[in-house]
Structure 1
């Protein structure tokens, strides 16, 4: 069996193109700044987002932090990870101790 290594020098160029595409995709993704944004990303209602917070599914310091008494600042990467957990059924419908 004969192996052709002529195209190995294309790997760095392909990697750069993949990284550029990832940056473009990230820029195209709408931000996750509000409960409404989180609801859209999770494909639920804002009320469900409130329930997730009350029940401890979305945790302060992990998924969001407070800015003042009422304003929540969501952590986009944690919300996206939570969405993946929802899709995989890793989040149960039981109450979580807070």
Structure 2
């Protein structure tokens, strides 16, 4: 079962992501290309999720992760969000986070 989550990133931008697979599986992070969403990974995500914990992100400014008015939706801010989410994902996937 795929769960939909969201985090608030730099400047109040909400970034949505999907999580699926066994909680104790090794983590995999799927990032979409520009103009795509986490849903574009569905076939790959479902295959990986048999044995891995899969995190598939939407990019900033896309439908489920709307950009607040007057805030940039792409570029350097988007890269910073991806790096921040990568660090969060590592913490969420660590054994200490699930204890």
Fold match by TM threshold 0.5: no
Q: What TM-score comes out, normalization by structure 1 length?
A: 0.26
Greater relative CO (CA pairs within 8 A, separation 6+): 2
The structure whose residues are more often strand, as a share, is 2
Q: Greater helix share, 1 or 2? A: 1
